[in-house]
Amino acid sequence: MTGCGPQRPGLSPQWLWRLSPAGKRTASWVLPRCINGVGAFASLDYQRVLVQADIGYGNGSCGEPRPGTNSSRILITSGASLHTIVTLPALDSQSPQVTGW
């Protein structure tokens, strides 16, 4: 993952990359803006990735809280695309946590 902004780039990544065993990029996906935490989980065959992106604060230009915009998105890679499966509100700073699939 690569981040946006100079402050802890891992806090607010912009891209998700698939790397070959040799370290070459084989695929990439643009992540939603203003991420405040992300998790990625590969399928057993390594063909798809499930992504949990917590949205609302983030880094760089997203460093200011945006009231009412905090949410958690579950996304899945499909070829070169990244599709949102569900968007859930983050209530009281709590969001669902994907642990695998």
**What pTM was estimated for this model as a whole?**
0.69
Burial of 73 (0-12, 13-18, 19+ CB in 10 A): buried
pLDDT of residue 31: 85
pLDDT of residue 93: 56
pLDDT of residue 74: 87
CA distances from 90 to 6, 22, 25, 27, 33 (A): 25, 38, 33, 30, 16
pLDDT of residue 97: 66
Give CA–CA dist 78/3, Å, rounded: 22
Q: For the chain, which residues make up each domain, given as ranges?
A: 2-89
- Give mean pLDDT in consecutive 10-residue pieces for the chain, a chain of 101 residues: 58 82 90 80 85 72 58 85 84 62 62
pLDDT of residue 22: 94
pLDDT of residue 25: 92
